[in-house]
Amino acid sequence: MNTSVAGTHMIVLPGGGYAEHASHEAEPVARWLSEIGVQASVFRYPLNVRHPAPLDALVTPQSPPFFVWHTAEDLYVPPEHTYRFASALAASHVPHAVHVFVHGPHSLGLAQAAGEAAIWTTLANAWIHEQA
C-alpha cells in the first residue's frame, strides 16, 4: 500500500453513456484509489441528462488537476474528445496528464489484463502522488 495523500479526495464518475452507471467503473476504481492512499467516493450523477456544453468548454483556471486516459480504438468516444479536453486544460494552465493507448475498447474500468492500457493505474498512481 502507498502512503496516504493527505487532504486529497477524488470523486469517481462511472461511465455508462448517460443511460446507466457502469458498475465496474465505480466502486472498483474508488477501492483502488483507497488502496493507493487516496480517499474517494462514487458520484452517481443524474442519468438521461446531458450537459449542453462539451467538457472542454467548462475548463477554467480554477479547474482541479486531471489525469485522463483513453484508447485510440474506442468506438463510442473518439480520442479527439480527450485531445480537446487536454488542450483546454493546457490553455487554462491546469495541471494534467493525458495518455492515449493504441489498443483497447471502450469501458475498460481498471483495464486489468487489457494489454498496454493496463498500465494506466501505475501511471495514475505516480501522477497522483507527485501532485500531492
DSSP string, 52-102: SS-GGGG--TTPPPEEEEEETT-SSS-HHHHHHHHHHHHHTT--EEEEEES
Does 2 reside within a domain? no
For residue 68, what are the domain limits? 9-131
Does 87 reside within a domain? yes
Global confidence as pTM: 0.90
Does 91 reside within a domain? yes
The model's confidence at residue 2, banded by pLDDT at 50, 70 and 90, is: low
14-53 residue pLDDT tens: 998 888 999 999 999 999 999 999 999 999 999 998 878 8
Does 123 reside within a domain? yes
- The tally of domains found in the chain comes to 1
User: CA 93 to CA 65: how far, in whole Å?
Assistant: 10
> Backbone phi, then psi, for 63, in 5-degree steps?
-60, 145
Say which CATH number the domain at 111 has. 3.40.50.1820
56-86 residue pLDDT tens: 999 999 999 999 999 999 999 999 999 999 9
pLDDT above 80 for 1: no
With contact defined as beta carbons under 8 Å apart, do 98 and 82 qualify?
yes
